[in-house]
Structure 1
């Protein structure tokens, strides 16, 4: 069979490759490094700006914004904004997005041809061979592969947005835990000061014989316990501050941030449960990622089925140049050298013959991968609905508990202690009753702070159960002070 020359062939193939690339839509790098989706979602759902630091100018701008935010007293919103601008782990997630974009652009380009040249030299002959090889299989599947790569990149954009949501949720939760720890310290400082004054008074009464040793010991024990609880609260405050510092990406002199002394007051009205599940189905980023991955797998399955019989097809164009010399003796007896040269052009197609595997294994593996992804998506949807319901239960319940402390328990505890003090001054009750009431009020105030902290964390959990990015905000870290106070107060 006669094939056209390699030069002629590639004059035909290369324009076809260019046409295929144009039809497949060669991708190019976006001017915003693929950040449009993340920036749009962060602004819409969080009301915050996000920036990918790619050069010194962007880095300086971000640092200036962080410095400006750090000058004032920090709020939950400013803490989230600082974290989004300053956390290096988030920047690494944006770098992964850039890597995904580079892979998408690479997948949209036509396959590079391979060129080889060889030379074989003997005493009387020389052979030069040039080869140009291109993959017809990769060229034919380029549009499908480019489309799949584009879908994969869009999924990577959603994953970057999910990382942004997760960091924002962590920063807001940790802000509330830290402020709650500060509020605990402030209250316990007042309790210690009051206990110290009472302890000094009891000491003087004991020295004058107006109080026995048992009553003195009880009052001194209250003061000692309050001092121990204050030390624990201060330790917890330092730990919570360090956790917040890590999330915000701060170090050096920037760690000395100004935080409020009290948590925000409880809102008078709370969010209703109307259509929370439907909102989560539309907005949850993890569900969007799962849907996008499922669509990509469906396209990969279609490509696998379309190419099940062929793994690769290579087109090879070869040009061979032979030059030989033959020595002969002429009629006059002199030696003569005859030069002979010839040029050959050949075209070869190389492909795999599926004698033992007709692609069933590839198709079966692709189908099972698709079904597994479909089942995971269904599971995520069911879990998301449950997580929203659970988060709303925690949100509403924690608001009721915190409100009960504020409107019922704390006013009653104050009334009890005030009346106990009046009756003790009138010598109607002994010091034991006064100490018990004082302990109970300390414990109730500590629990009230924890209840208010739990409500604000539940607010974050409900928000991110709806939009994605983390739904489990444990409040155990800041409960150590209240637990310790409850154990010590309950033991007396």
Structure 2
């Protein structure tokens, strides 16, 4: 029996040497992220990598900001993402803990004779949870699946932040461009109001026309306030995701959104024409397959199911095999030492584990249902984003190739008519106003396209994007009309 105890104690000592190495977990996450997106990630733990990350951020901010540099700064500098990395330490520690045997229990006693005529009787005991040796592999399999789920979720958080930063960059650019367009509208409206006031002084227009132009001008000024607020908020949202503050928050955005490329860089999208118009032909089945194969949400849900199935097996074992402590006792009586084995067993008379088994089975069914629901959501998102990308691409290209060139020609022809005294100043101003409004709507369509691109990229990288509000906005109405030309 003493040999068994020595082996058990030796196993405890060896298992106690297992170390918690969260950096190994982060290396797994880094490999998952690099495989899906060309970005750099660093876990700031107070080491030398922190200084290298800060230097990289300073270098990125020193150059002209692009969507790619904004994403990289966010991944290196966002503190909420750094906090998420600590989940890896927790999961990896739980994995190590699951492989450790329970600590042995040592005890001792001393019995003194009342008359102090003889030496005290001494006794020593050691007890070890014997069946824990058999349950440890089951616990470790449970923790391994939970660790995998945590790794997938942390990798998903990295991809989420990259996608949100990309979307915020596009929105900030679009709002900055919209602000510039609205300033043109205000200048146009002010010119119209000034011209009508001068014509009124000359007696050439009635007072109602002057009031109408003034109303257009005042409304344009109010719209400018709204545009300024939107541009400031979207810019600040980008700064917040990048984790910047102080002087570093004064970022310079590029002047305009990139136009829609003639050829789509996505493997399952090809450009074509339909009725003389450029269209995007999307292989929906290919998108759906790619989304399902790479989904980190599905992988995490699958790991949750497997972990719960293993936990259910562990619960069943624990209910069948109660606590069994095996140990030994040594005792000195009348100056002589005596030793022998000791066994303690908990009899399952009242708690037979039926409640724990029922709860585990219910939790397993819940996780299975969530897994299937996630699969439905991923497939639906693939179809939705495939259609959204095709629609937004077609709309933005239509603005680029048809609407904006047509509006520019209208302004040019109106100016020629004005020089030939065939139209008045209000005709020119109205043509310019309509061109500015078309440009503003084009910017919105372009932003919707780049958002759809980012969402689809995120989906095929393995993460579920937010599908709300990413499509084309329905125009609320055309630009306000001026009075008849004079």
C-alpha distance in 2 between matches for 1:27 and 1:294: 27
Partner deviation per Cα, 1:343-389 (whole Å, 9 max, x = no partner): 34342222222234544443333333223222221221122111111
Q: Is the 8 A contact 1:177 1:478 kept in 2?
A: no
2:328 counterpart of 1:317: yes
Which residue of 2 is the match for residue 231 of structure 1? 225
SS at match of 1:414: helix
Deviation at 1:408, TM superposition (A): 2.3
Partner deviation per Cα, 1:372-423 (whole Å, 9 max, x = no partner): 2222212211221111110111111111112222222223333334444544
Q: How do 1:397-476 residues align onto structure 2 when only pairs under 5 Å count?
A: 397-423=391-417, 428=422, 436-472=430-466, 474-475=468-469
Equivalent of 1:118, from 109, 114, 120? 109
Deviation at 1:95, TM superposition (A): 0.9
Equivalent of 2:318, from 295, 307, 313? 307
TM-score, normalised with respect to structure 1: 0.85
Q: Is the 8 A contact 1:181 1:478 kept in 2?
A: no
Q: Is the 8 A contact 1:413 1:440 kept in 2?
A: yes
Deviation at 1:163, TM superposition (A): 0.7
Once the two structures are overlaid, the 10-residue window that deviates more, 136-145 or 394-403, is 136-145
2:155 counterpart of 1:161: yes
Q: How do 1:61-72 residues align onto structure 2 when only pairs under 5 Å count?
A: 61-72=52-63
Deviation at 1:59, TM superposition (A): 1.5
Which residue of 1 is the match for residue 374 of structure 2? 380
Q: Is the 8 A contact 1:177 1:475 kept in 2?
A: no
Q: Is the 8 A contact 1:155 1:289 kept in 2?
A: yes
C-alpha distance in 2 between matches for 1:456 and 1:476: 10
Deviation at 1:436, TM superposition (A): 4.9
Q: Is the 8 A contact 1:225 1:488 kept in 2?
A: no
Partner deviation per Cα, 1:243-288 (whole Å, 9 max, x = no partner): 1111111111110011111111111123423311111111011111
Counterparts in 2 of 1:62 and 1:259: CA distance versus 1, 3 Å: same
Unpaired runs of at least 5, structure 1: 323-339
Equivalent of 1:254, from 234, 240, 248? 248
SS at match of 1:258: coil
Which residue of 1 is the match for residue 298 of structure 2? 287
C-alpha distance in 2 between matches for 1:456 and 1:349: 70
C-alpha distance in 2 between matches for 1:490 and 1:160: 53
Counterparts in 2 of 1:48 and 1:92: CA distance versus 1, 3 Å: same
Deviation at 1:228, TM superposition (A): 2.2
Which residue of 1 is the match for residue 276 of structure 2? none
2:5 counterpart of 1:14: no
SS at match of 2:126: strand
Q: How do 1:184-223 residues align onto structure 2 when only pairs under 5 Å count?
A: 184-223=178-217
Deviation at 1:160, TM superposition (A): 1.0
Which residue of 1 is the match for residue 144 of structure 2? 150
Q: Is the 8 A contact 1:443 1:489 kept in 2?
A: no
Rg larger for: 1
TM-score, normalised with respect to structure 2: 0.86
CA RMSD of aligned residues (A): 3.0
SS at match of 2:465: coil
2:65 counterpart of 1:74: yes
C-alpha distance in 2 between matches for 1:82 and 1:302: 45
Partner deviation per Cα, 1:67-105 (whole Å, 9 max, x = no partner): 111111211111111111001111111111112111211
Unpaired runs of at least 5, structure 2: 270-281
Deviation at 1:467, TM superposition (A): 2.4
Question: How many equivalent residue pairs?
Answer: 463
2:107 counterpart of 1:107: no
Counterparts in 2 of 1:441 and 1:311: CA distance versus 1, 3 Å: farther
2:308 counterpart of 1:297: yes
Q: Is the 8 A contact 1:179 1:263 kept in 2?
A: yes
Equivalent of 1:264, from 245, 252, 258? 258
